[in-house]
Amino acid sequence: MRTRRWLAALALPLVLVTGCGDDSPSSADDPDPTPTTSTSPSPSESETTSAPPDTSPQCSEIWVDGKKFPERYRGCFEGTEKIQAESVYCEFGTKLFFYANSFYAVPNGPVNETEGPLAKDDSFKTALNKCGG
């Protein structure tokens, strides 16, 4: 019921605007055969307005043991392949990121490299428990 009233309120100004106008003949009866030009972009124009390329750094630049982890991390590249950010959300308001089953970090903290798989590393398990996951 509330939605109908809202839609009616939106439609009323449109009806009023389209009802306004002069009684002059329509432009279809205009005897001037001036051609109109299209303003739609050409294919080459639309190609140049595409989104900018992703400028994420190489994973080997980010995931270095002891290096400060970036505040905003969205992933990295291994060569030309984009590697999406993997993380778990922590109860205290940040994320715990991990990579290649042997690195983990929180934003603005140090990158930690494990000697084996993350699931078997005591330090990672402790960090995960502190995170609440």
pLDDT values of the chain reduced to their tens digit, one per residue, 133 residues: 433 333 333 333 333 333 444 554 554 555 555 555 545 555 554 444 555 566 779 999 999 999 999 999 999 999 999 999 999 999 989 999 999 999 999 999 999 999 999 999 999 999 999 988 5
> Range of 120's domain?
59-131
- pLDDT at residue number 7: 33
Question: Is 114 part of any domain?
Answer: yes
CA dist 71 and 22 (Å) reads 60
Q: What is the pTM of this model?
A: 0.59
Alpha-carbon dihedral of residues 112, 115, 119, 121, nearest 10 degrees?
-80
Assigned domain for 21 exists: no
pLDDT of residue 132: 84
Share of the chain above pLDDT 70, in %: 58
Residue 121 CA to residue 102 CA, distance in Å, equals 9
Assigned domain for 15 exists: no
For residue 94, tell me if it sits in a domain: yes
In a domain, 71, yes or no: yes
The pLDDT value recorded for residue 16 is 34
Tokens standing for 103?
Answer: 């690195």
Kind and range of the H or E run holding 127: helix 122-131
Q: Report if residue 76 sits inside a domain.
A: yes
* 50, part of any domain: no
Predicted confidence at residue 121, as pLDDT, reads 97
Q: Which residues contact 99 (CB under 8 A, 6 or more apart)?
A: 59, 62, 63, 76, 83, 86
Number of domain units in the chain: 1
**Sequence-distant contacts of 119-124: CB under 8 A, at least 24 apart:** 124/98
Residue 44 domain flag: no
